[in-house]
Amino acid sequence: MGKFLTIVILFWVSLASAFADNQQSFDDWLKDLRIEALEKGISPATLDAALTGIQPIPRVIELDRKQPEFSLTFAQYLERVVPVSRQNKARDRYKTHQRLLEEIGTKYGVQPRFIVALWGIETDFGRVTGGFDVIPALASLAYDGRRSAFFRKELFHALTIIDEGHIAAEDMKGSWAGAMGQSQFMPSSFNRYAQDYDGDGRQDIWGTQADVFASAANYLKRVGWRDDITWGRLVQLPQSGEASRANAMALHDNKTWKGLNDWAALGVKTADGSALPGRNIQARLVMPDGKDGPAYLAYKNFEAILKWNRSNYFAIAVGTLSDSMR
């Protein structure tokens, strides 16, 4: 434990020392950034408000470089992300906002339960949205160099959001990587998908529930969501045949799409052993923990969730939480 603490302290000291040695370089970098921002049409007033006095944040760089010491199994992840308490809270939040959710769901063509599920998993229904100042955090990552091009673009997107009056620079809070608000949009996603549903002239994904819900719905719809199907389902694989557990990994790895009728013909059934739905919906097999773990048939809406977050664990968790509200 003492050795670990020493390593942590040395890491922080080295980061702080590097930033101190490079302070002039950061100032020069910030000057160049400001010139480019002005050329992009961002106002001097916005740049003064957002960039004056900012410094790189060592903690942000540490989090960006930190590698996880262990990985959760799928079962552990699902237990952590979709516990019974969150399922209960999701049903409660759905009921509280039902009228607004159904209105938005109808307008955008997205079932409301998926809006609530994303809201719940991303920020625990708006409770945990991140405590970092987004502009200094993005500037730290853009200056650091490891993924500078990506975060420099995100920083310009964030400055544009401030310049358009959606939020003040000092109120723009988010995660260490710049994901913002109750929907945890990166600034580029905000500029593509955020909505001003209440018509007040601001796309407020931080504090206006209508904007939060409409922005999530708009995102899903724009990346291909269909409201006539669900996300997928947990299934049983047969003991033998092409779709058996012994052969399923090949189908999983190849991302083979088949109609539900075709999967049924291979012997695949729903989790309770009943027949798959009669609709010939296209689906592919997803086995998040490999051949010995659970198996899911994922529909096209599963792909839309993956565009939000490229993780099978995440997408299945969203689907699972949404199912708890059916």
Per-residue pLDDT of the chain (326 residues; tens, 9 = 90+): 454 444 444 444 455 444 444 455 999 999 999 999 999 999 999 999 999 999 999 999 999 988 665 678 999 999 999 999 999 999 999 999 999 999 999 999 999 999 999 999 999 999 999 999 999 999 999 999 788 999 999 999 999 999 999 999 999 999 999 999 999 999 999 999 999 999 999 999 999 999 999 999 999 999 999 999 999 999 999 988 888 887 887 777 778 999 999 999 999 999 999 999 999 899 999 999 988 899 999 999 999 999 999 999 999 999 999 999 99
- Give bridge partners of residue 298 from the DSSP assignment: 232, 284
CA-nearest of 201, 199, 268, 205 to 232 is 268
Q: How many helices (H) and strands (E) does the chain have?
A: 16, 7
Q: Which fold has domain 2-66+130-180?
A: Helicase, Ruva Protein; domain 3 (1.10.8)
CA triplet 316, 318, 320: central angle to 5 degrees?
Answer: 65
Residues of CATH 1.10.8.350 domain(s) within the chain? 2-66+130-180
Residue 167 corresponds to which tokens in the numbers above?
A: 């939020």
d(Cα 160, Cα 42) in Å, to the nearest integer? 6
Q: Is the pTM of this model over 0.85?
A: yes
220 burial type by CB count under 10 A (0-12 exposed, 13-18 middle, 19+ buried)? buried
156: enclosing H helix or E strand? helix 148-163
Distance of CA 267 to the CA centre of its chain: 34
- Across the beta sheet with 269-270, what order do the strands follow? 257-259, 282-286, 295-298, 232-236, 269-270
